[in-house]
Structure 1
């Protein structure tokens, strides 16, 4: 028996969740149940796995288990960028090997297209807009990153526009940045609204249980998952719970639960919108990965997202929220001095499952146990496509994308504790310090 020693515990401050359309959470599981397929984790990956399994096996019941409420966890806490382009931070031009970059592009575009089709089919109200994204810099280091990425995009044959300092305010209002790169392929979303909508339009042979954290697992010819009110027996188990997959006994010591933090303002008044200027809906990421991400939302709020913490158990910590909201305030005031009276309505944290070699896992973990884990910060698109393709593979399909994922070496092993925490925390601290005014 494997005891699940840490369960998801996110804070209650996520603006995306509270501002998204209300839904009735599905009941938690109680008693005993047997099912051909059980999927753990109802984020973008798990929803995609369950949906596609239901298509391939219409006579099977697919059980989908979520420890919290759908939309409350990681998938509803990101900045809402469904990114199309590869971004290999280990490569000089951020593209790296051209063949790998083209496959990554194809994976991301496939994920986007899957989501677009579902949003259109079910009319999910999640502000799904093909708005593109800005990548902006103020420090010399950041501008060098933009120049390198531009060379990489040329190599990949992808379009972009260079926006010089004088023209940036017409796009995003702020005069803060010296240069920006606009790429048109990113889709912006309200992430909690999207994941809630996906959960409410699952095929009829998918049974979703929310607020059902698994506490123990017995592996064998069948897999028995225990929770506080009963147990679920699976002929085949699929893990789609990212870093919490380690708590189920797999890929231990490979994934890093890194939390990042966001704050969302109150809606801007008409006068404040005029003072800000720029477009009415946009997203901006920093040239420096430790810098600040910004969004202007459909309801005229501004999102500020920066700062990182390493929470090895994958659970939220109030002390980081208290600390980083002050950093959000300082970042906001540097960028938007014309809006001195705009307060934050929400502040929250959300985890990323990262690996040191930027690889995820896709395939079989053990007899009757499979997984699509570790999206490395691309959960919206990469989670959707890997979840879909994992179900395709389990149904006997093979194609270029599935073969590419199966051939991945997977996330590599981390150093043991306490060296891991010392090293990760030192890197996070140094990265945020070096980001300078990009933060």
Structure 2
């Protein structure tokens, strides 16, 4: 039996989680259980995989295991952008190779379709709105990125609208951005509410166990034995949908990068403050510079600021969250000087699983063990579609999307420690410094 060295332990400050509809967590597992299918990780990828497996194999029990409470982990901590367009942060124009970009566009659109249908079918109150997204720049470097992105969108034949400073102020209320690009296909949502709603609408042959961190595993036989504090689960076939924590189960070691980013969410704006701000009442903005600030204005008139990064090799939320609020306050003040008295109600960190070559893993990890891992910053769409397609592939289906994912090179190897941590953290600090006032 091998030991799992790192398990999820997120901070308790996530505004999305606390503001989403309350639910009764499912009991933790206790005792011994055998199941033909076990999925580890009840985020968006795991929920999607478990749901689709249950549809393909209606006579089989699908066991879904979550280390924390559903919605409390990474899938409930992102900024709620279900992005349709390719978003390759490693490419100068965010697009990269056009043929690859077109396939990524198909994947993202398929994911949006799945989310949209499930939200309607199960009446999930996650504030899903197809309102598009803004990408904003305040300095020449960011403007150059927007111009490159626009050229990339032209290659793909995708719609966009270029906005000058006055138009950005009219849309968002802030005069901070000198140029913007609006793309209409993104859906905005409340991420924790979506994850909770998906968990509570799983098919009847899915058994969900929450607050059950797996602490040991054994691949010696034709089945996988998983142990935890309260017992053991034996899996006929095991699906890992736990991103960087897959390394703790012996896979993709030295290839995944658990990078944390941090967010603060304000109290609701008063009616007078809303009038002072102006602009539209619901929107989301991502920065032209990847190290800049992401912004959201929510339906209950809160403002969210997300920036700052840290590399946490153990996959756990850093103590950095305790000091990042002041940095968020400065970013907020630069963008919203008309709102000097608006305080933050919540501050939290959340993980992204990245790879140095911006590639993911899809498919077999070893006989009887499979994974859909490493979303590279597109967790809502990429997690949803790869979880579903992994289940489809295991059920014997093939299509162009599955073939595309199967043919990908997978995450590349990282330098050894301590060079890895030193290099990644230096790169993160340099990127944030280089972002200037856009941070």
Match of 1:269 in 2: 270
Distance in 2, Cα, partners of 1:4 & 1:153: 43
Match of 1:178 in 2: 178
Q: In structure 2, the residue corresponding to 1:349 is in which secondary structure?
A: strand
Match of 1:44 in 2: 44
Give the alignment's TM-score, normalised by structure 2.
0.99
Distance in 1, Cα, partners of 2:383 & 2:60: 23
Match of 1:159 in 2: 159
Q: In structure 2, the residue corresponding to 1:214 is in which secondary structure?
A: coil
Match of 2:342 in 1: 342
Match of 2:419 in 1: 419
Cα distance per residue 1:153-178 (max 9 Å; x no partner)? 00100000000011111100001110
Task: Describe how 1:73-112 pairs up with structure 2 within 5 A.
Answer: 73-112=73-112
Match of 2:257 in 1: 256
Q: In structure 2, the residue corresponding to 1:95 is in which secondary structure?
A: coil
Distance in 2, Cα, partners of 1:346 & 1:148: 35
Cα distance per residue 1:268-321 (max 9 Å; x no partner)? 000000000000000000000000000000100000000000111011122x11
Give the alignment's TM-score, normalised by structure 1.
0.99
Once the two structures are TM-superposed, the CA of residue 2 in structure 1 deviates from its matched residue by: 2.0
Contact 1:2 1:249 in 2 (8 A): no
Once the two structures are TM-superposed, the CA of residue 91 in structure 1 deviates from its matched residue by: 2.8
Distance in 2, Cα, partners of 1:259 & 1:311: 7
Match of 2:169 in 1: 169
Distance in 2, Cα, partners of 1:122 & 1:43: 18
Match of 2:431 in 1: 431
Match of 1:297 in 2: 298
Cα distance per residue 1:35-70 (max 9 Å; x no partner)? 000000000000000000000000000000000000
Task: Describe how 1:6-405 pairs up with structure 2 within 5 A.
Answer: 6-219=6-219, 220-318=221-319, 320-405=320-405
Cα distance per residue 1:16-42 (max 9 Å; x no partner)? 000000000000000000000000000
Distance in 1, Cα, partners of 2:98 & 2:248: 35
Structure 2, unaligned runs of 5 or more: none
Q: In structure 1, the residue corresponding to 2:324 is in which secondary structure?
A: helix
Distance in 2, Cα, partners of 1:191 & 1:156: 28
Distance in 2, Cα, partners of 1:307 & 1:88: 19
Contact 1:32 1:232 in 2 (8 A): yes
Distance in 2, Cα, partners of 1:370 & 1:338: 51
Structure 1, unaligned runs of 5 or more: none
Q: In structure 2, the residue corresponding to 1:168 is in which secondary structure?
A: helix
Greater shift, 91-100 or 359-368, is seen at 91-100
Q: In structure 2, the residue corresponding to 1:279 is in which secondary structure?
A: coil
Q: CA RMSD in A?
A: 0.6
Cα distance per residue 1:365-387 (max 9 Å; x no partner)? 00100000000011100000000
